[in-house]
Structure 1
C-alpha cells in the first residue's frame, strides 16, 4: 500500500473515530421529567368597624359610655393573638391643668359578645398606655379566646367611664382627650406539611 493510501486511510479512520466519539454521547436512551412548585404566602388582614368607637362632647365626672365594635379577619390565615397598643393626647384648653385626664378615664372591657358574657378587665387609660405588651396581652387575650379564623367576626363591648373622685374636678372643664387604639394581629405557629397536605 502506497504512502498516499496509508495517509488517506489514517485520516478516514481518525475522522470515523472522532464522529463516533462525538456521536457516541447521544447514542443512549434518554428521558426527562419536570416539576413545578408554587408558594404563595397567606395574609393576615385584621379590620375594625367602626374605626371611631367614641366621639363624645360634654362629658362630666360619673358619665359612662358603652360602645360596641367588631374585629374581623378578612385574610386567609388564622389570627392567633391580638394585642392592643394605647396612646392618647390630652388638650388642656385653659392651660391650667397639670393632671393627666387619662388617669380619670377608666376602661372596662366588658365582653366579647361571641365568646365571653362578663367583663374581663378594667383599668384607666394612663395605666393601659404604660402597661408592657405581655401584660396587656395576658389581660385582653380572653377577648378573642381561640383567635379569629378567616372570615370570622367578633362583636366586642367596651365601657368608658369618667371617674368621679368625689372631689373638685373643675380643672378638667373643657379639656379633651384623643385616644388611639392599635390592634395588632399575629399568626399562630407554622404547620409541618407532609405528603398528605
Structure 2
C-alpha cells in the first residue's frame, strides 16, 4: 500500500473517532421543572336522622302512624339519587298466620318536603315518592327518595321546591304515614305479631364531569 493511501486512511479513521467522541460529549443548555399533582377522591356519605323511624306497639287495624325524618348528605360530593329498598320479616306470635302482615301495612305517603311545590292551579303539589302502597308491594319497588316529581302545572308556572338530588352539606325533610289497614274481615291471626321493617337508602353520585 502506498504511503499516500495509508495517510488517507489514517486521517479518515481519526475523523471518525473525533466524530464519535464529539457525539457522546456534545453539550447543550437545559432546564427542568418538577410539578406536584394530587388526585383526591371526594366522599359520598348519607345519613338518616333518626335511624329508627317507627317503633310502636299495641297496634290495631285502623291505626295510622305519622313520622318525620331527615336524609342528610354529610359527604363532599353531591348525590344524584337515593333509591329506597324495602324488606321485612314478621314474627308470628301464635304460629297461625295464613296471610302476610306486610299486605295489611300500607304506606299512605312518603313525602319529600323539600321537593314539594306550590302552583296557582293545583295549590300544594306534594312530592310523594311513595303513595298508597302496601309494604308487600313496596318490596318490588325502588323509588328515588330525592326525585322532584313536579306536575305539569308546577313545571309550567315554575316550582318552589328543590330540584332532584341532594347537594353536599344539605338535607331533605321527609314525612311518612303508615296505616294498619282495617279490611273489615277477620284479622285475628295478626294479634301479638310484630313486623320488623328495614328501609335501606342507597345514595348514588352525580355523573362525572370535565375538571
* Band of TM-score, shorter chain: 0.7 to 0.9
Look up the match of 2:58.
Answer: 58
Runs of 4+ in 1 over 4 A off after TM superposition: 16-20
Look up the match of 2:167.
Answer: 149
What is the RMSD computed on CA atoms of the aligned residues? 2.6
- Give the C-alpha shift of residue 190 in structure 1: 1.1
- Give the C-alpha shift of residue 20 in structure 1: 5.0
Query: 1:108·1:119 contact (CA, 8 Å) conserved in 2?
Result: no
Number of residues paired by the alignment? 178
| Pair 1:140–1:62, CA change in 2 (3 A) | farther
The match for 1:128 among 126, 132, 138 is: 138
- Give the C-alpha shift of residue 145 in structure 1: 4.3
TM-score in terms of structure 1 length: 0.80
| Pair 1:173–1:145, CA change in 2 (3 A) | farther
Pairing 1:1-197 to 2, within 5 Å after superposition: 17=18, 21=22, 24-25=25-26, 27-116=27-116, 118=126, 120=128, 121-131=131-141, 133=142, 136-137=143-144, 141-142=147-148, 145-193=163-211
Query: 1:68·1:155 contact (CA, 8 Å) conserved in 2?
Result: yes
Query: 2:112·2:146 contact (CA, 8 Å) conserved in 1?
Result: no
- Give the C-alpha shift of residue 109 in structure 1: 2.4
- Give the C-alpha shift of residue 141 in structure 1: 2.5
Superposed CA offset, 1:63-105 (max 9, x none): 0010000000011111010100100000111001121000000
Ranges in structure 1 where 5+ consecutive residues have no aligned partner: 1-12
Ranges in structure 2 where 5+ consecutive residues have no aligned partner: 1-13, 117-123, 150-161
* Stretch deviating more after TM superposition (78-87 or 31-40): 31-40
CA distance in 2, matches of 1:126, 1:89: 11
Query: 1:86·1:129 contact (CA, 8 Å) conserved in 2?
Result: yes
TM-score in terms of structure 2 length: 0.75
